[in-house]
Every structure is written in C-alpha cells, then in structure tokens.
A and B are shown apart, each in its own frame.
Chain A
Amino acid sequence: MTHKTLNLHVPTLTRVEGEGAMHVTVEDGEVTDVKLEIYEPPRMFEAFLRGRGYAEPVDITARICGICPVAYQMSAAHAIESIAGVHPGGAIRELRRLLYCGEWIESHVLHMAFLHAPDFVGVDSGIEIAQLHPELMTEVLHLKKTGNRIMEVVGGRPIHPVNVRLGGFYRAPTRAELETLSPDLERAHAGALALLKWVATFDYPSIPNRLADNTEYVSLRHESEYPFNEGRMVSNLGLDLDVATFGEQIREYHVAHSTALHATLGGDNGTGRRYQTGPLARWMNSADLVPSSVRAVADELGVAEVETNPFRSILIRGLEVLWAIEEAQRIIATYRPPARPALEVPAVAGIGHGCTEAPRGTLYHRYEIDASGTITDAVIIPPTSQNQDAIETDLRDFVASHLDLDDHTLGHRCEQVIRNYDPCISCATHFLRFSIDRRD
C-alpha cells in the first residue's frame, strides 16, 4: 500500500480572533480525522476570580473579549443578581437591552462586512470591499459606528463600558442623551437594509450530507421578545430548561489539542448531546418573535424560519442587526429614566447562573459566593466552546465533499467554514496551521 502524505500549511487563520491550527487526515479518500486546534495562551480568569469580590466580575470578565464585553457584563450581572433574588426591571432592563443592541450591531456588522463578506467576494479584507463599493461601505461604517455610539452613550465607551454595575448602572442617561442617537439610528436602518440586500446576492456554498444539520440548536427564548438577557434555554429538539438547570447539564471536556474547552449537554464526551448556539439557533427558536417589519424583509430576501446552512448565518446576522436597530428605536422612543440607576444587590451566599445571548451565541456564567461576598468558584462557558463540535463536524463534512479541490483552495474554504461561526477565541495570535494528510 502506498502512502502519499501531503502537508499543507495555511499560514494564518485570519479575520477571526484566536490562534488555531487545523489538522485533517484523509485515508483512501475518506476523512478519518479532523482536529481544530486552538492555542490561546491561557489567561485563567476562572482561577483568579476566586477570592475576588462579587461585584467585580462585571468589569473583570469583560476583559475576556474586547468584541463582546457587554455579553460578559450581562451574563455576570444576571448570574450574581440571581443569588440575591434581584431582578432589575423597567427602565434599567430597557437600558441593558439598549446597550446590548449596540454590541450586536457593532459586532455583527464587523463580522459581516469586514470578516465574513470578503470570503464571498473573494478579496482579502473589508478595506478592499470599501474600494470596490465605496458608497455601500460608507453606510456600513456609519452603521457600525452607530452600534458603538449606543455603547458610548449608555456605557461610556464601546470596549469595556464603564457604566455597568450589579443592579443596573452608575448613572442613567437622560432622555436628551438618548435622543441624540435617533438621527443616526434612522440612517443606520437604511444602511442595514442596504447591507442585507447586498449580502443576499452572494452565492452560498453548502455542505452536502452535513451531520451538524442534526445537532441541537440551542438558544434563549423569551415569551415575547427576541432573546437577549432573559428566558428559558430551548432547542429545536424540545429542550426547555430554566437557565440554572441548563447550566448544570453542560459538560465541558478538554481535549489534548486545544486550550479551549468543548461542551456537550447531559453527558460526557461521547455520551453527551452535541449542540450549537448562535444566530442560526436564535432564529430557529425565536423567528416568530421579531416584529413583522423584520419578518417582511426576511421573506423578501428568501430567509426561511428554519435555516441550517452555516454559510447563510451572515443573513441572519443582518436580520438581527435590523431588529436591534428597531429595538433601540423603540427603547429610546419610550424611555423614562429610572428613579434610581441601580438596585442594591446585597452579598448573599449561594450559587447563581446566567445565560445571555452574545452576538456569536449563548454565554453562560456560574458563580458561587460566600456570605461575605467573596467568590469561591466561577465557571464561564463562552459560545465558541459550545460551537466547537459543530465547527469540527462541519470541517469534516466539508472536506469530505470537496476532496476534488487542491490543498490550497481547500485550506481557504475550510477557514471560511470556521468563520461561519464568528469564533471568538480571543487570546492569541492568529496562526492556523492547516495540514492535510492524504494517504492513498
């Protein structure tokens, strides 16, 4: 038997955050092994959170990710507030949603136009897209900036907002401050529509016989709103759990090739159910909750209520941007500042769980604190850990159905498969060593 082994290196996994390598083994025309290796220098937040004060994770965990700090702030706040039984409502709740709208807009637009679209257009960067489509990109940049502006007005700055605390905010913005956002939001709405319509003209590859089509799509679902901070964890396969019970069911496991952890539900590696989170899951579980205006755009662009092709996730991101703009407009139009910017959150011994919807998927936090308010244990499971299995499965199926491509093209297309998930492995340089062994 002859063994032909090809080692091919894609020098860098670009336009994602994180250092990774991918290894594919093909034997006799069959993909026998796929590993997405992630090398992030471990920063060990869960370890140094032990011994810190219960009010601190809101600021500390934001530093896990500069792209979605609000998600970290919200999951931390909700988890810790739940221990004291504090549930901010009214205007504080509205301001939190508004802040999250800003993050979704900024993060989604960054990913859509700068990180993901270049794959479909066949260029290296969003800056090149701007050279090809200057008018469109002017509006896209304005749209992205509007997301950042919302975070500035509500949170003080777009990266690691300073105004968020347990129980609410340090200072509630005035009506006048929020209203300064209105003209930008109006223009951004048109910009989001333009971006969506452009994105809808792309050719979407597909993955034949995609196993991950049958994984469980998990997200928050709220009774009446598209999900951000609250609701039950549901799936297309009938999962329906409160956040705490869901948290107890997640099992993380650690594989040799990665410093990121993988997650499954209700069992260990091998027995647990594979699942994925993110825009496809949210849309599948909550598309009925977007306003009819957003639904109409989805219909016009041919986006179904159930979409499973990960390459089409860019369309769902666009619809979520549109929704976030309308939600922000609604919040601003009806805003009355809260009587007090924050509720008191006393130190109470116990365990708290929080799940909120980061742009790229569900972000889970769990804290155990003692009666003095000192953290004794912390668990953080980011969306990319939860999506790791789906990404690897997609890579396997994609390679299996595209063995006719040369290694160079295949390597590039595999990066695109990874970017479908907007992975946020933010801790490293960005080397993807793509190696493929073809043995025949």
Chain B
Amino acid sequence: MQHTSATPIAWPESIEHGQSPSLAVWKFASCDGCQLSLLDCEDELMAVAGRVAISYFPEATTAMVDGPYDVSLVEGSITTEHDAARILDIRRQSRLLVTIGACATAGGIQALRNGRDVDGFTSIVYAHPEYITTLATSTPIADHVRVDLELRGCPIDRGQLLQTLAALLNRHALRLPTTSVCIECKARQTSCVMVAHGTPCLGPVTQAGCGALCPSFHRGCYGCFGPMESPNVPALRTQLGLLGLAGVDIDRLLNTFNTTAFAELEQTQIDERAPS
C-alpha cells in the first residue's frame, strides 16, 4: 500500500562472480551515529561480516585494505577544504557510493552555520580561532560528487540499512518509501497527534522511513528524515500557525537536522507561488 521507489542501481559485478563485495565506511563531519547503526545490527552483524569484505571501517577494525571498493557508505557533511578534496578521492575509489544520514544527505545540524558569521562562530567556541580552518558552509556529499543512493534520517533507520545491504548482496531492486510519515502513522494505526492532541508535527512533509516513531511516543515529528518528495511546506506552516506555534518556533522546527533541505524547498515553493 505504500508508495515506494525502486531505485535502479548498478550493483558491482564482483557479486555476479560470487565474490564478497568490498565495503568501506567513511566519516566526515558527523556524530558517528549513522555508522554506529551498522554495529547496532547485533543479530545480523556476523552474517553481514561473513558476506561482505569489510575493507575499510576504522571505527570497527584496524585492518585496512586499499581501494577500489565496491560499496562506500559515507557519513557526514563537507565542512573543510581537506574533506572537499577527500570526498573526490573516495568517489574515484568507489563503484557505488551510498550516503547515510542527514549530515551526508543534507549537511546535517552543522549546516546551521550556513549563511551566518562563521568567524564569529569560531571565536565563540575557540579561544584561538586562528588555529581553526573551516569552510563557511556545511554541505551535503551530493554537492560535491555523484551519489548513487541516499539513506535519510538522523540517524538512519537500521532496517533500511540492512535492506540496502540485502538488496546489494542479492542484487535485487531496493524499495525505499518516498511518501510522508503520515502514511506510516496510518499504517501502524497511530492516531494523528495533530488532529487528536493539537501537537505540531512535521509528519505531513517528512519522508517516511522511521516507522512514524515520534507520533508513537505522542510527539510530533521533527523532520529528521528530511523532506518527502514535493512536500507542501507553506501549507504546513499555515497549519502550524493555526495550532498556535509562533513564527520563530516554526522556523526553528524546520531549521534543525535537515536545515538546508527544508529551507531550500520552502523558498522555491514560495518563489513559485509568488505572483510574477
């Protein structure tokens, strides 16, 4: 019943030949949470480790194999010149590049620096800002290199990660939802927190994938999976206003874990609707 998109992916040929695909896990500006999701697959970890060759995963193993790699999982956003160069090299070494999580797909919470005074930010945090080199923006991986597949979420959903690995190993199409969290609430028969309790919720504009976790805890969705396909952000803004949320609170809600994504979308939609 759920709308899904079958992502056409050219899985690496090594699998055809019966070899274990090699897997590398990379980190940029992030909290480690998304790559930790892999180690959190306790029940499946040994099975996965038996079917892929873990070639580069410094958080888990000291052993390292040089590239190229069949699959690279990339966590984190680009915030330094060094990292901007590093992702180019990783792309060259990777047959398939999968970004994992809001940092990698949307710039993450650290994108709250974008459009602000980063030098001023640095001097708030560091006594000697001159020791710090950083870019003025935090940008998603796709702004720098071609990305084959994006897994959303802050953090990603463990189940989606496993589905992705299973699709890879078995060379079948991957189906990831592109609808809203609302659809997942209906599917699990969680009563709508907005209708039943007047709780502000980003569910109507947020991409499904978490299983409507927050509403099941009587909490409004705060958008950690980022925008769904063509969401109507201005309409939700109006609705949130009717529920009594002040403009500044709506701004905060939309500008947190996927700040670039929601902000850009809303701007385009406002531009489109503006009488020319």
User: Could you list which residues of chain A lie within 8 angstroms of chain B, going by C-beta atoms?
Assistant: 11-17, 40-48, 50, 52-53, 56, 59-60, 63-67, 69, 106, 110, 114, 118, 124-128, 130, 137, 141-142, 144-145, 148, 156-160, 162-163, 165, 169-171, 252-256, 258-259, 261, 426-430
Contacts and interface: CB of A to CB of B under 8 A. Distances in A.
A52 B216 CA distance: 26
Contacts of B126: 42, 254, 259, 261
B213 A157 contact: yes
B29 A159 contact: no
Contacts of B99: none
B59 interface: yes
Nearest to A415: B62
A11 B40 CA distance: 26
Contacts of A15: 58-62
Per DSSP, are chain A's interface residues mostly helix, strand or loop, or mixed? loop
A351 B8 CA distance: 53
Contact of A17 (B59, B113, B154): B59
B164 to A, nearest CB: 17
A142 B30 contact: no
B217 A162 contact: yes
A106 B112 CA distance: 30
A40 B30 CA distance: 10
Given A125-B62, A144-B42, A44 B217 contact: no
B32 interface: yes
A127 B46 contact: yes
Contact of B214 (A17, A50, A156, A427): A156
Contacts of A110: 39
Contact of B60 (A42, A67, A114, A253): A114
A6 B255 CA distance: 50
18 contacts: A12-B64, A15-B62, A17-B59, A59-B256, A66-B36, A67-B32, A67-B33, A69-B33, A124-B61, A124-B62, A127-B49, A142-B42, A160-B224, A162-B219, A170-B217, A256-B131, A258-B131, A426-B32
Interface string B5-48: 00000000000000000000011111111111101101101100
A171 B108 CA distance: 27
A162 B181 CA distance: 15
A126 B31 contact: no
Interface string B217-231: 111001010000000
Contact of A11 (B27, B33, B64, B80): B64
A21 B70 CA distance: 29
A252 B29 CA distance: 23
Given A48-B121, A126-B60, A159-B155, A41 B79 contact: yes
B53 to A, nearest CB: 11
Interface of B: 26-37, 39-40, 42-43, 45-46, 49, 54, 58-64, 79-80, 83, 86, 108-110, 112-113, 116, 118, 120-122, 124-128, 131-132, 134, 138, 154-155, 213-214, 216-219, 222, 224, 249, 252, 256-257
Contacts of B43: 141, 145
A260 B74 CA distance: 23
Nearest to A257: B131
Given A63-B257, A162-B217, A125 B125 contact: no
Nearest to A430: B58
Contacts of A53: 249, 252
Q: 6 closest A-B pairs (Cβ-Cβ)?
A: A66-B33, A125-B61, A47-B121, A48-B112, A145-B42, A124-B63
A56 B252 contact: yes
B78 to A, nearest CB: 8
Contacts of B110: 43-44, 48
Contacts of B28: 41, 429
Contacts of B60: 15, 114, 125-127
A141 B42 contact: yes
A46 B110 CA distance: 11
A110 B59 CA distance: 11
A253 B126 CA distance: 8
A41 B121 contact: no
B213 A44 contact: no
A301 to B, nearest CB: 25
B154 A52 contact: no
B82 to A, nearest CB: 8
B46 A427 contact: no
A256 to B, nearest CB: 5
Given A40-B29, A66-B33, A127-B54, 6 more contacts: A14-B62, A15-B59, A64-B31, A125-B62, A141-B46, A159-B37
Nearest to A13: B58
A171 B32 contact: no
A11 B63 CA distance: 11
Contacts of B109: 43, 45, 48, 60, 63
A241 to B, nearest CB: 24
Contact of A429 (B27, B127, B134, B249): B27
Nearest to B224: A160
A162 B42 contact: no
Contact of B34 (A11, A66, A144, A255): A66
A261 B125 CA distance: 9
Contacts of B122: 42, 44, 47
Given A50-B124, A159-B36, A171 B218 contact: yes
Given A44-B110, A44-B122, A428-B27, A256 B46 contact: no
Contacts of B113: 44, 47-48
B215 to A, nearest CB: 10
